[in-house]
Amino acid sequence: MAKRPLVKLWEHAGLGLIVEYPSGIVYSNQTCGNLCRQSELEGVFIPLRNDVTPDDRLLGPESELFAYFNDPRTGKLGVDGLDAGEVAFMESVLDKYNLSDLISIDRSRLGDSHEAWVYVKLKGEQDTDVPLYAGLGPYPRSGVLTWTNGD
């Protein structure tokens, strides 16, 4: 069996969605803070809500997620999975950036989720319902939200 291509997102800036899909391409990111897990998923990668200021400052959900999970007062990097507070924060970020109509946290996978690697469900009844990822149905479909690791 041929080895599948591996795309390392370690240098990617911004929030991304890996849609679990039989693409033949595996996406990997360093996750879980200093533990530097090498999380992987086969699928399709879609950047989400990443804007840049004229002075090259990244705006968008990644900045808030990175700050939260890497603040010792709030985030625990989800080493043992995500807790209710971490899920509530993530849901507030999804709402703020108008992503909650497209994506929901997969509560059945909270134990597998952690900093920079959160399992989600993509919403949509038909492929035409969600133009951001049209043609990837049937829905709901699994995926992962990923962003820059805080190591």
Average pLDDT of the chain is 85
- For the segment 120-143, the average pLDDT, to the nearest whole number, is 76
Encoded tokens for 125: 């009844």
> pLDDT (tens digit, 9 = 90+) per residue, 21-50?
999 999 999 887 767 788 999 999 998 876
When mean pLDDT is compared across 6-15, 55-64, 71-80, 107-116, the lowest value belongs to 71-80
Percent of the chain at pLDDT above 70?
Answer: 85
Question: Per-residue pLDDT for 77 more than 90?
Answer: no
pLDDT at 136: 83
Omega within 30 of 0 (cis) for the link into 138: yes
Quick check: 127 pLDDT over 60?
A: no
Q: Which residues, at least 6 apart from 76, have a Cβ–Cβ distance to it below 8 Å?
A: 83, 86
Residue 89, pLDDT > 70, answer: yes
* pLDDT at residue 101, as a whole number: 86
Report pLDDT digits (tens) over 54-73. 777 767 888 889 888 888 77
- Tell me the torsion sign for CA atoms 39, 131, 61, 14: positive
Question: Does 52 score more than 80 pLDDT?
Answer: no
Is the pTM above the cut of 0.75? yes
Where in the chain are the domains? 17-146
Q: What's the pLDDT score for residue 49?
A: 75
Question: What is the phi/psi pair of residue 77, to 5°?
Answer: 65, 5
